[in-house]
Structure 1
Amino acid sequence: MSSRVRIALLIGLAGVVLVTLIMAPMLMSTFPSFLGGGSTGEDCGDGPVKVTNVSTTAQSDIPANYLELYKKWGKKTGVQWTVLAAVGKRETDHGRSTLAGVRSGVNYAGAAGPMQFLISTWGGKAKIKTSSKFNGYASDGDDDGVADVYNPADAILGAAKMLKRNGAPGDLKRALFVYNHAMWYVEQVLVIARRYASDGTLELPPVDDPSCDTPIVEAAPTDIVRKILQYALAQRGKPYRWGGTGPDAFDCSGIIYMAYRAAGLSIPRTTFGQFPFGAKVKKGTEQPGDLVFFNAGPGTSSNSPGHVGMVVSPGKMVEARCTLCGPIKMTTYRDRPNIVGYTRPLQNPTVIGQLKRLGLT
C-alpha cells in the first residue's frame, strides 16, 4: 500500500470518528426504538431495578466516591448503576481523564464534566442555580443549590435522568444511542456495564407483559371500562399508521376512538377533538379509561396537544406512538416529558347520555 493511500485512509477514518464524537452526547428523545434492548421478566412490576452486586473489576476500577454516586442515583431513578458507571468510564475514566472539558472548560465538541454533557444539553451554562428557570438536564445532586456540570454528584444525577427519559432501564440501547449517537459506543458501554456487575448480566425490568392483562382488566372500576381496556390491550403488537382506526393498524387517537366504540360509546376521532371533550382530571387522580395528553408533534401546543394515550393502570398507558416507534404497546407515562393534562371521556354529558341509553348508569 502506498504512503498516499495510507494517508488518505487515515484522514477518512479520522473524519468519521470526529463527526461521531462531535455529535455526542446529543438529546434526541424522539429517536425510534428499533435499536432493541426491550424488557423481559416474569412479574408485573416495572419499578426501579435492584442494586446489582459489585464485581471485583468494578471495585478495583471505580473510585469509591463515584461508585457510591452511581449506586445512589441508579437506585433512585431506576437506571442500572452499572450502566451509569459504564458511561462514566467510557466518557472520562470516572473523571480521571486530563483532557480538556473534564474539570473545566469544554472539549472540541462543547461537552464538559465527568459525564460529558453538551453545555446546551445541560442547560446553557456549566453552573446553574437550582432556583433558576432552565431547560436541560442540569441537576443538583449534593443539595448545594447549584447544578454544576463538573461536580460528579450533579453530573451523574443528570446522566441518570437523561438515560431514564430516553428508555432506561428497559430499552438501554435506545437510551445510550440518544446519549451518544454511535452504535459502537452503545456496545462498548454495555460490555463495560456487564463487567461491573458481579454476575456479568444487566437486569431489565418487565414493562409490557400480556400475562398481566387479567389483573389490569379486573381492577377496572366499571364493566364499561373493562370493555374499553380489553379492546385496547388486544391491539398491542399491531403497527402505527397515521389516520388508522384498525383493524390492522391505528394511530394514537384511533385506537382510543375504536376502544370506546367497542364498548358502544362514541367520542371524537382525533387527538385535537378528544382533548377538550373529556372532563379534566387532576394529575394523580387519573383512572383506567382516562386519557393522558402530550405536547408532541408539529404544530401542537399545551392547549392543543398532538399525542394521546389511554391509562390502563397506575402509571401505565396503551399508546400508538409513531411509525418508527415500534408497534402499539403498554408503556409508562409519569416520567415522560410534555404531559399537558388528563381527561375522562366518561364524564362528558354526551357520553353520559349514551350510557343511559345503554342502561349502564
Structure 2
Amino acid sequence: MKLSPTRLALLIGAAALLLLVAVIVSPMLLISLPSFLSDGGTVPDCEDGTRVEEVSDSGTTDIPGEYLDLYRKFGKKIGVQWNILAAVGKRETDHGRSDLPGVKSGTNYAGAAGPMQFLVSTWGGKARIPMSSTFTGYASDGDGDGVGDIYNPADAILGAARMLKRNGAPENVRQALFVYNRAWWYVDQVVEIAKRYAKSGDVKLPPQASEECDDPMVEAAPNDVVAKILEYALAQRGKPYLWGGTGPDAFDCSGVIYAAYRAAGLTIPRTTFLQWPFGVKVLAGQEQPGDLVFFNAGPGTSPDSPGHVGLVVSKGKMLEARCTRCGPIKVTSYQARDNRVGFTRPLQNPGVLEQLKKLENPSV
C-alpha cells in the first residue's frame, strides 16, 4: 500500500507525539516509584519480617544521607529501631559532624571515640581491629573491609546496633540506652530525638513478619516434614520466653524447637546440650531450613558445649526464644552473631531417619 505524502506526514507526526509523551511520562514514573517503594511503614520486607518506618521531614533534613542509609540498614539487619540508632548518633556527635576530641581521632576525656562514641575498651581494646583476630567487644565491620574501625561510620553504627540489641532493644529500648550511657536523662534525650526522626512521632517496635511473609518460607522448605516444622515454629512468635518451657503458652530456646519437631511427628532431645551432639554437623553456608544453629551463650557453656540454639527458617534467619529480658519469640538474624558455634541437621540423625520411615510407612 502506497501512502500519500499527506498521510505519511500525519503518521510521522503521531509517532513523534507518542515519543514525546513517553519521554515526559517515564521520568515521572521513575520519580514516583522510589517514593512508593521507600514507604517502609506500609511495605513489608519478607526476608526478615521487619518494616522500616518512614522518616520525618525533620529526620530527612537533619541526618546526612550516608548516615541515614546506615541507620536504616543496620537497624533492620540487627532488629533495632533505626530512629533510636539515629538519635544516639545525633546526641553523641551530631552524626559525626562534631569537631570535639575523639570524634574523628583520639578519644575524649572518658576514653570514647568515633561517631557513636564507643569506649575503646568496649570496642575491643583498640580503635582499629582486624576482624580475623580474637577480641571481646563490639568491634564490627559494617563496610566489609575486614577491619572494625571505631571511626568508620558503617562499623560504628553496626557496633551500636549490636550493643543495643544485646542489652534489650528493641522491646526494652530504654534499658538498652541506659547501658549505652548510664544516665536516665540521656535516655530521655535520645528517645525524644528518636520521636522527632520518625514520621509517626514515636519509637515503635520493628514488627514481626505477617502471614504473607511466612507462606514463602514454608513453601520454600526442602520437604513436607520441614514445612510442618516451620509452620509450627513460626506460629509461636510473640509468645514469652520461659526457662524449661515446652509450650503451649511459653518456651525456652530448645523447647520451641523440640515442640516444632514433635508437631511434625518427630522426637529429638529436649535440651540444647543434648541437641548439639544429636544432629549431623553442617558446614556454614550449607545450612537449610529445619537445621539448628548453636551459640556459645549462657552460664557454663563453651564452644564444645553451646548453651543457646535457634531454628533456621531461611538463609541467614532463625526463630529463637532467647531470654526473659530479650522479648518474645521472634525471627532474627544469626549472621550478625559473633558467638555462633555451628549448625546441625537433626533430620540426618539415624534415629530420626528411622522415625521418618515409620511416618512414611506406618505398617513397617
TM-score by length of 2: 0.70
Residue aligning to 2:48: 46
Q: Deviations over 1:206-226 (max 9, x none)?
A: 433244333333332222222
Query: Structure 1, unaligned stretches of length 5 or more?
Result: 1-38
> Match of 1:343, as an amino acid?
T
1:309 aligns with 2:310: yes
1:162 aligns with 2:183: no
Change in 2 beyond 3 A, CA 1:183/1:217: farther
Q: Deviations over 1:189-248 (max 9, x none)?
A: 343345456886779754332443333333322222222223323333333222222233
Q: Residues 231-310 of structure 1: matches in 2 within 5 Å?
A: 231-310=232-311
* Matched-pair contact (CA < 8 Å) for 2:41–2:54: no
Q: Deviations over 1:105-143 (max 9, x none)?
A: 544433233421101122213345677554434467789
Change in 2 beyond 3 A, CA 1:201/1:229: same
For residues 87 and 148 of structure 2, the distance between their equivalents in structure 1, rounded to whole angstroms, comes to 22
1:70 aligns with 2:46: no
Offset of residue 301 of structure 1: 0.9
Larger proportion of helix:
2
Percentage of identical aligned residues = 63
Larger RCO, structures 1/2 (Cα 8 Å, 6+ apart): 1
> Match of 2:159, as an amino acid?
K
* Matched-pair contact (CA < 8 Å) for 2:288–2:315: yes
For this pair of structures, how many residues does the alignment match?
A: 315
Change in 2 beyond 3 A, CA 1:271/1:85: closer
Change in 2 beyond 3 A, CA 1:268/1:133: closer
Change in 2 beyond 3 A, CA 1:111/1:221: same
The 10-residue stretch of structure 1 (280-289 or 47-56) with the greater mean CA deviation from structure 2 = 47-56
> Match of 1:124, as an amino acid?
G
Query: Structure 2, unaligned stretches of length 5 or more?
Result: 1-39
Change in 2 beyond 3 A, CA 1:320/1:107: same
* Matched-pair contact (CA < 8 Å) for 1:163–1:176: no
For residues 311 and 48 of structure 2, the distance between their equivalents in structure 1, rounded to whole angstroms, comes to 18
For residues 263 and 200 of structure 2, the distance between their equivalents in structure 1, rounded to whole angstroms, comes to 48
For residues 121 and 112 of structure 1, the distance between their equivalents in structure 2, rounded to whole angstroms, comes to 11
RMSD: 3.9
- Bigger CA radius of gyration: 2
For residues 262 and 198 of structure 1, the distance between their equivalents in structure 2, rounded to whole angstroms, comes to 42
Q: Residues 96-111 of structure 1: matches in 2 within 5 Å?
A: 97=98, 101-102=102-103, 105-111=106-112
TM-score by length of 1: 0.70
SS in 2 for 1:327: coil
For residues 162 and 46 of structure 1, the distance between their equivalents in structure 2, rounded to whole angstroms, comes to 20
Offset of residue 345 of structure 1: 0.7
* Matched-pair contact (CA < 8 Å) for 1:139–1:148: yes
For residues 265 and 144 of structure 2, the distance between their equivalents in structure 1, rounded to whole angstroms, comes to 53
The 10-residue stretch of structure 1 (320-329 or 183-192) with the greater mean CA deviation from structure 2 = 183-192
